Chain A
Amino acid sequence: MGEEARHRLLVWALVAIGVVGLVALVVVAPTGVTVAAVAALIAVAVVAFAGWRRLLQVVVVLVLVTFFVSVLIRLLPGDPTDAILGFSTPEQRADLRQELGLDDNIFSQYWDFLNDFLRGDTNYYQSSGQRAEGTPVWDRLGNALPVSLLLMFYAQVIALVIAIPLGILTAYRAGSRLDKSVNTGAFALIALPNFVLAYLLIYYLAVRRDFFPTQGYVPFGENASEHFRSLFLPALSLSAGLIAAYMRLLRSDMIQTLQEDFITMARSKGLTTRRILLRHALRPSSFTLLTVAAINLGALVGGVVVIEVIFQLPGVGLLLFQAINAKQYPALQTMIGIIAIVYVLANVVVDVLYSVLDPRIRHARAAG
């Protein structure tokens, strides 16, 4: 397959991933089928971009990450059976420990988890009743995942929509009063914890002015405008630190790019400033921004936990918070495992996107 044909396949695969993912999130709750479809498309993109070896690398990374997560969970203080069986005798807790395999070694526990996970068995919330199994984790996770993913997506969109123009502007006017003012504002945003900003936004925009709800979530399918209203303040709270970071990164890269010869050539050819900035300078300046945006998915997950608890959004963050408090090990392992998978795959997608953004990488590969 030629380089250009591979590139076109790649682009269409990415578009298909985006469409399927969006449909799965917004219209249809994630099911095994939609998740498998997205995973398959991502695998196609990886193979198309970098071959089977890269796909194998991704699998190895996923195994290592999920194993590490399993180890970390076992290091949590306290006995999970204390939490699951609030009122219980030592004998009852011992029975539960055996049932959950908590007395087995970590490798054995991980192997059981992996076996179940690959067969689509995402474990159960343990209940205090007589039943051996409680609610399947996927029942709750499937409803919670769209909420969190949408929240993170909107936070990224808000951050990029605000950060990119500001980054371009401050790079173009580097050293000016505007540049200094915007940078000062950026430092203030970085310093402000997202939960503090959340409460400020709630007080001024939801309590004193009834512009947005103070809490709660409305699904898109139920009412689109209320959906966006319900997620705006949470997404804005989550995006504040990102805005500052992205703006600063883009500014820094763009200042360097604007000093390149090809920019000088473009100016000498009489191209407008707008065209130079948006058409010629932005793209090569955005690689760092892209990398950081992908890496920030991890930071966003942490922020999502806090923001969902404050705004009472029924997402994965709130489920995680409750599972940690309740020492629901099987549920916790599954949830964190899925988050880790999403994070690794998102970074793979970003790697793939580099070749879309930068033809030099495509051509270098073709030549090599």
Chain B
Amino acid sequence: MAAVAATGMIAAACGGSGGSGGGSGAGGDGDGGAQFDEPPDEGTPTRGGKVTYGLEAETGGGWCLPTAQLAAGGIQVATSVYDTLVAPASDGAGGVEYVPFLAETVEPNDDYTQWTIKVREGITFHDGTPLNAEAVKLNLDAFRGEVPGVVGPLFPIVFAPVATVDVVDDLTVTVTMNQPWVAFNATLWGTGRIGMSAPAQFASPDNCESNLIGTGPFRIFNCENVDCGWVINDRFTAEANPDYWRQDADGEQLPYLDEIEFRPVPAVAQRVNGLVGGDLNAMHTSDGATIADLRADAEAGQVNLLESDFAAEIGYSMLQVEDPPFNNKNARKALQYGLDADELIELTQAGVVKRAVQPFAEDNLAYLPPEEVGWPDRDLDQARQFLDAYLQETGETELSFTILTTNDPVNLRLAQIVQDQLAQIGPVNATIDQVDQTEIINTALGGEFGLNLWRNHPGGDPDTQRIWWYSTTPEGAPNFVNFGRINDPEIDRLFDEARSEPDPETRKEHYQQVSKIFAEEAYNLWAWYTVWAFAAADDVHGLFPPQLPDGQDPVIIASVQPVAGLWVDQ
């Protein structure tokens, strides 16, 4: 439950679904999706140098991980300073598995009511204290809301199924659940947010958000060679951790860089200017038009580019289905048949993204071939029939609702195109309600919308999405993060059974059935899979992360790009 909230925080913080991702980009097969997604052969890494990385936003609240609400920019910084117990890896079959990272082993018991986590020996935090079972227990308890002074609003909900965390020996903890939890290891990654902090960071809650002490490849604690630190709105500078526990595939110590500096540059045009002008030598973006331009630059050899829509977030229109008009299925079906997602992709995403007809990405366990989902093609005649049926049933003269989106011009444009498309169905009166990015979550929580332009649901395990569509909390109260107010007993039952189902095929079938229910009921109107692009100057390499500690191939999910393997030509 919590993992969903954690993974979904990216979308929540990012707000609406507009302004990001791409379409069928340069050199593609015309169907959209990430290109430049294969690791190139870049030769032998050289040591030294500095990367200045442009981020899409500052993280005003800092990095006290149990309380922080990190978006893409914040997660990127977190991955440089902290490590997680597990990390996503390729399962060899096009999907994701969550493999031990800081942990040596993460093993469930037979019925998934208890997980045993053993951390690797010899790893230390940046302050020299050991990563041991006590530290892991403290961190997990902090995320559960059990450590005074560092209790956040969301992670206690995420980790609600955890009953206790107990130390077994110096390196081992057991996590006992109050219900079987098959995908608990996916939660432990939490899109890079569930990093392990040194106990000293929690010991001083007043500066927990700026006193980052992790086990990661870079540190800001006790820097020796670099003027480290965080100057808000300016830079976050960290030096290489000389005692980092990882090596590359050839046994070379990571990281290769001497220093990394993150700079918040919200204006994507300025981020690109910085990259071209030399003030930045790496950046990330999910803006479709920018990705299209970067592809041209990459083909010309001017930048190095890596893209990922692996286990991607979904851009879509969320409907609030508890109240009129969308508590009426005919109203929902009218929109489902009337919206033209392909046109939206072309007009707002520069054709860079790939069309989505279900809530799970191609690399997700639950992915269903599109033709089996049952999502209808656009059909204005059918849309009109459903609209007429709605009007007859309700006695209304028009289908009237608000389109909720953030108040930036890109999302406004998306909302206007949606409005225009829906007007073609018939008497549809959709008014656009723009709210500030900071308000959109609570506006959505309050159900104060008809249609909400949204982006969410990254990740490889569908269990992490349960929180968004399950009708109640574990305590039986209304689930306040089920923004769309979906109350579908069949969806609840499928998620319940899948959470505790050990057989992967049976689990998959449960989740695929969820996709079919969404297609039938049209609770949400899926549009595209987001593409994230990571661009660097032509002398910066290693955008694709190095092999994981036990030899597995890593994957990049959403905006989380590991930086341990970055290197600069010397």
Roughly how many angstroms separate A144 CA and B231 CA in the complex, as a whole number?
10
- Cβ B442 vs Cβ A319 within 8 A: no
Contacting residues, chain A, for B273 (C-beta < 8 A): 202-203, 206-207, 214-215
A266-324, CB < 8 A from B: 309-314, 318-319, 322
Contacting residues, chain A, for B150 (C-beta < 8 A): 129-130
Contacting residues, chain A, for B480 (C-beta < 8 A): 89
B276-290, CB < 8 A from A: 276-279
Given A83-B439, A129-B150; A312-B269 close (CB under 8 Å): no
Contacting residues, chain B, for A88 (C-beta < 8 A): 153, 442, 445
Given A203-B273, A309-B266, A310-B267; A87-B481 close (CB under 8 Å): yes
Which residue from A85, A214, A325 sits with its C-beta under 8 Å from B277? A214
Which residue from B270, B277, B441 sits with its C-beta under 8 Å from A86? B441
Contacting residues, chain B, for A199 (C-beta < 8 A): 269
A104 at the interface (CB under 8 A from B): no
- Cβ B233 vs Cβ A86 within 8 A: no
Contacting residues, chain A, for B234 (C-beta < 8 A): 216-217, 312-314
CB distance from A364 to the nearest CB of B (A): 48
A82 at the interface (CB under 8 A from B): yes
Contacting residues, chain B, for A310 (C-beta < 8 A): 267, 270
A326 at the interface (CB under 8 A from B): yes
Roughly how many angstroms separate A86 CA and B273 CA in the complex, as a whole number?
32
CB-nearest residue of chain B relative to A322?
B60
A120 at the interface (CB under 8 A from B): no
Given A86-B442, A87-B69, A207-B273; A131-B279 close (CB under 8 Å): no
Roughly how many angstroms separate A319 CA and B209 CA in the complex, as a whole number?
18
Roughly how many angstroms separate A2 CA and B439 CA in the complex, as a whole number?
61
Which residue from B148, B153, B208, B235 sits with its C-beta under 8 Å from A128? B153
Given A130-B150, A207-B273, A312-B263; A216-B435 close (CB under 8 Å): no
- Cβ A129 vs Cβ B64 within 8 A: yes
Contacting residues, chain B, for A313 (C-beta < 8 A): 233-234
CB-nearest residue of chain A relative to B436?
A325
A125 at the interface (CB under 8 A from B): yes
CB-nearest residue of chain A relative to B266?
A309
Task: Please tell me the number of chain B residues within 8 Å of chain A, measured between CB atoms.
Answer: 50
Residue of A217, A312, A322 most packed against chain B (CB within 10 A): A312
Contacting residues, chain B, for A92 (C-beta < 8 A): 153
Contacting residues, chain A, for B267 (C-beta < 8 A): 309-310
B205 at the interface (CB under 8 A from A): yes
B28-64, CB < 8 A from A: 58, 60-62, 64
B186 at the interface (CB under 8 A from A): no
CB-nearest residue of chain B relative to A308?
B233
- Cβ B264 vs Cβ A312 within 8 A: yes
CB-nearest residue of chain B relative to A218?
B234
Roughly how many angstroms separate A78 CA and B448 CA in the complex, as a whole number?
13
Roughly how many angstroms separate A310 CA and B60 CA in the complex, as a whole number?
18
Contacting residues, chain A, for B264 (C-beta < 8 A): 312
CB-nearest residue of chain A relative to B477?
A89
A127 at the interface (CB under 8 A from B): yes
Roughly how many angstroms separate A127 CA and B266 CA in the complex, as a whole number?
21
A109 at the interface (CB under 8 A from B): no
- Cβ B438 vs Cβ A325 within 8 A: yes
- Cβ A213 vs Cβ B435 within 8 A: no
Given A127-B67, A128-B69, A131-B206; A86-B13 close (CB under 8 Å): yes
- Cβ A143 vs Cβ B231 within 8 A: yes
B116 at the interface (CB under 8 A from A): no
- Cβ A216 vs Cβ B263 within 8 A: yes
CB distance from B549 to the nearest CB of A (A): 32
Contacting residues, chain B, for A312 (C-beta < 8 A): 233-234, 263-265, 270
Which residue from B233, B266, B278 sits with its C-beta under 8 Å from A314? B233
CB distance from A329 to the nearest CB of B (A): 12
- Cβ A83 vs Cβ B69 within 8 A: no
- Cβ A215 vs Cβ B274 within 8 A: yes
Contacting residues, chain B, for A327 (C-beta < 8 A): 436, 438-439
- Cβ B233 vs Cβ A322 within 8 A: yes
How would residues 89 to 120 of chain A score, 1 for a CB under 8 Å from any chain B CB and 0 otherwise? 10011000000000000000000000000000
Contacting residues, chain B, for A311 (C-beta < 8 A): 270
CB-nearest residue of chain A relative to B147?
A130
Contacting residues, chain A, for B514 (C-beta < 8 A): none
- Cβ B438 vs Cβ A216 within 8 A: no
CB distance from B417 to the nearest CB of A (A): 25
Roughly how many angstroms separate A36 CA and B438 CA in the complex, as a whole number?
36
Which residue from B13, B148, B154, B263 sits with its C-beta under 8 Å from A130? B148
Roughly how many angstroms separate A319 CA and B148 CA in the complex, as a whole number?
30
Contacting residues, chain A, for B67 (C-beta < 8 A): 127-130
B55-92, CB < 8 A from A: 58, 60-62, 64, 67, 69
Contacting residues, chain A, for B442 (C-beta < 8 A): 79, 82-83, 85-86, 88, 93
- Cβ A314 vs Cβ B232 within 8 A: yes
- Cβ B441 vs Cβ A87 within 8 A: yes
- Cβ B209 vs Cβ A127 within 8 A: yes
- Cβ A87 vs Cβ B5 within 8 A: yes
B225-263, CB < 8 A from A: 231-235, 263
- Cβ B233 vs Cβ A127 within 8 A: no
CB-nearest residue of chain B relative to A311?
B270
B149 at the interface (CB under 8 A from A): yes
B152 at the interface (CB under 8 A from A): yes
A7 at the interface (CB under 8 A from B): no
Roughly how many angstroms separate A83 CA and B205 CA in the complex, as a whole number?
22
Residue of A92, A135, A311, A319 most packed against chain B (CB within 10 A): A135
A200-215, CB < 8 A from B: 202-203, 206-207, 210, 213-215
- Cβ A78 vs Cβ B439 within 8 A: yes
- Cβ A206 vs Cβ B277 within 8 A: yes
CB distance from A159 to the nearest CB of B (A): 24
CB-nearest residue of chain A relative to B441?
A86
B160-188, CB < 8 A from A: none
Which residue from A78, A85, A206, A322 sits with its C-beta under 8 Å from B153? A85
Contacting residues, chain B, for A210 (C-beta < 8 A): 277-278
Which residue from B13, B148, B278, B439 sits with its C-beta under 8 Å from A82? B439
CB-nearest residue of chain A relative to B274?
A214
A74 at the interface (CB under 8 A from B): no
Given A87-B12, A130-B151, A322-B60; A202-B278 close (CB under 8 Å): no
A227 at the interface (CB under 8 A from B): no
Contacting residues, chain B, for A130 (C-beta < 8 A): 67, 148-152, 205
A362 at the interface (CB under 8 A from B): no
Contacting residues, chain A, for B205 (C-beta < 8 A): 129-131
CB distance from A317 to the nearest CB of B (A): 10
B398-445, CB < 8 A from A: 435-439, 441-443, 445
Contacting residues, chain B, for A125 (C-beta < 8 A): 60
B175-213, CB < 8 A from A: 205-206, 208-209
Roughly how many angstroms separate A47 CA and B441 CA in the complex, as a whole number?
53
Further pairs besides A87-B445, A215-B279: 4, Cβ < 8 Å: A207-B277, A214-B274, A215-B273, A310-B267
17 pairs of residues in contact across A and B, judged by CB atoms under 8 Å = A83-B436, A86-B438, A87-B441, A128-B67, A129-B151, A129-B205, A130-B149, A144-B233, A207-B273, A215-B270, A215-B274, A309-B266, A312-B263, A312-B264, A312-B265, A322-B60, A325-B436
Q: A residues within 8 Å of B by Cβ?
A: 78-79, 82-83, 85-89, 92-93, 125, 127-131, 135, 140, 143-144, 199, 202-203, 206-207, 210, 213-217, 309-314, 318-319, 322, 325-327
Question: Which 6 pairs across A and B sit closest by C-beta, in order of nearness?
Answer: A129-B67, A83-B438, A314-B234, A82-B442, A130-B151, A314-B233
